[in-house]
Structure 1
């Protein structure tokens, strides 16, 4: 079976983290498609504990959010940032809910790629939950920030490599 032409598997192989963006905006339709991809991620008990907040380049919260990460330039240059949070009142299993958030984020990254856009998963920004959530106007009692996806029209080609599969296998197939 030749899997090289499968569009989903090809998107998984070709998606890259993009950290430089043009000044072009991302449309509401594109943002909605990306958010819907996240919406359809699997979650334990189908509880869907993720919540999204979109902060566009012209939003005053952008500068506050940029101040919460060493990747401030990326936040400022992105057409939009999608903040992915977990709603603490919707959680039922910490590990499963974090896994679901990861699946949600990956779905959105694949949607970004499929739309010809670029994005990067900013994880360092979650290290200071209080500052990041405050910058967004969200309560630390209610939400846990999982990641910020900075996205826009790519102004760079992505590059990546992977370890050989046999290095990752605990047993051979």
Structure 2
């Protein structure tokens, strides 16, 4: 196993406070490329991205549509991830693919030394958010917004023990069929 990948996965945390330092074009491209590399059913790649930088009028429109306005307003960057309805072939699989896309983007941001948080609550106001951003709510459905920036604080989190998450114990030694 590539321990670098596992280290990135295990050490990533949601970061909700950022410095004023901007996220560079190169960093944005790296994060978007990581999202683009996610798996999707039939390779339909149903995700579409909107980059909203600090100071963009759309940043305030996003903030007005979420109870986490304070995060959106002070983030140097918000990455909006949409489902392109014209590419959809199975809603569940396409939403799962976008989840993989978002996770890739979060891991890439962390690997770059940036902090990010997945804002999912904002989809409670979908399709009004899409419309407020000046996009076609018939063609696109907002799946999440990632707030991204240079961390002003460290994140923290705890995880349940694996044994509490297993529906039944598993054996680590394969048994041979008789």
Shorter chain as denominator, the TM-score bin is over 0.9
Q: Which residue is 2:16 aligned to? A: 19
Tell me by how many angstroms 1:102 deviates: 0.1
Q: Which moved more, 1:129-138 or 1:21-30?
A: 129-138
Structure 1: any 5+ residue segments left out of the alignment?
none
1:145 aligned partner: 142
Deviation per CA, 1:34-81: give whole Å up to 9, x if none.
000000000001100100000000111111110000000100111110
For 1:72 and 1:11, the matched residues in 2 are separated by 28
| Residue among 96, 114, 125 paired with 1:117 | 114
Match of 1:61 among 58, 61, 75: 58
Whichever of the two has the greater Rg, that structure is 2
What is the number of equivalent residue pairs in this alignment? 170
Q: Distance in 2 between matches of 1:135 and 1:150?
A: 18
Give the structure 1 partner of residue 160 of structure 2. Answer: 163
Indicate the RMSD between aligned Cα atoms, in angstroms.
Answer: 0.9
Whole-Å Cα distance in 2 between the matches of residues 131 and 65 of structure 1? 10
Query: What's 2:90 paired with?
Result: 93
1:61-80 aligned within 5 A: 61-80=58-77
Which TM-score applies when normalising by structure 1?
Answer: 0.96
Where does residue 106 of structure 1 map in the other structure? 103
- CA distance, structure 2, for counterparts of residue 138 and residue 29 of structure 1: 25
